[in-house]
Amino acid sequence: MRRVDVIDVGLGNVASVCNSLRKAGVKATVVRSPSEISAEHLILPGVGAFDAYVEKLELSGFFEFLSNTPDNLKVLGICVGMQVLAEKSEEGTRKGLGLVPGEVRKIRTSLPLPHLGWNSIEIHADHPVCESVNPDIGFYYVHGYHFVCESNSLIASSDYGGRVGSIVCKGNVCGVQFHPEKSHDNGIKLFSNFASW
């Protein structure tokens, strides 16, 4: 059976993520320190502010561990868990992990913030995590900041009064701005893809 470890630092929808992974046929194990990691796939679920999440990662030892992510470990960051993969954020003062070159910026739009609800995606590059997802249905979002990166790291985006990065990837590290655990069949498919990557 495919296995995924899910980081729990107290700032994420851990139970919902694990439930969606089980629906995808994936065994999910919650880990609270790097020493507990045993799977080859790791998820960083995140809810809340950039600095608070970075601080939780530092206190738990995950920040140092992830800064030197082993080559055999595939990583998926969700929402703020995606944003901390960047080098820095306009939302805070702490440094991010810098695993995907780029920075997090406030969404500049005339539309209401946060960007809340379902939105379609446009896929810009082939990647295993996107295989057979429905871009027209898209995914469920809740955020006011977004990841701005080089075009070669941008796998998919959404339109919200301008381009909003939806999926970013660099090497064995991926991040999604939306919440797969709230995105029904598309989210379950994405989790299945990640576990098979």
Counting beta carbons within 10 angstroms of the beta carbon of residue 23, is it exposed (0 to 12), middle (13 to 18) or buried (19 or more)? middle
pLDDT tens digits for 59-90?
999 999 999 888 899 999 999 999 999 999 99
Residue 79 is a catalytic residue: yes
Residue 158 belongs to domain spanning: 2-196
Domain tally for the chain? Answer: 1
Active-site annotation holder among 41, 115, 143, 179: 179
pLDDT tens digits for 91-148?
999 999 999 999 999 999 999 999 999 999 999 999 999 999 999 999 999 999 999 9
Q: How far apart are CA 41 and CA 38, in angstroms?
A: 9
CATH code assigned at 80:
3.40.50.880
Instruction: Output the pTM of the full model.
Output: 0.96
Active-site annotation holder among 18, 79, 130, 149: 79
Compute the CA torsion angle 120, 81, 41, 189 (nearest 10 deg): -20
Residue 181 is a catalytic residue: yes
Residue 150 is a catalytic residue: no
pLDDT tens digits for 145-173?
999 998 899 999 999 999 999 999 999 99
Angstrom distances, CA of residue 133 to CA of 9, 76, 126, 156, 195: 29, 16, 12, 12, 15
pLDDT tens digits for 9-23?
998 889 999 999 999
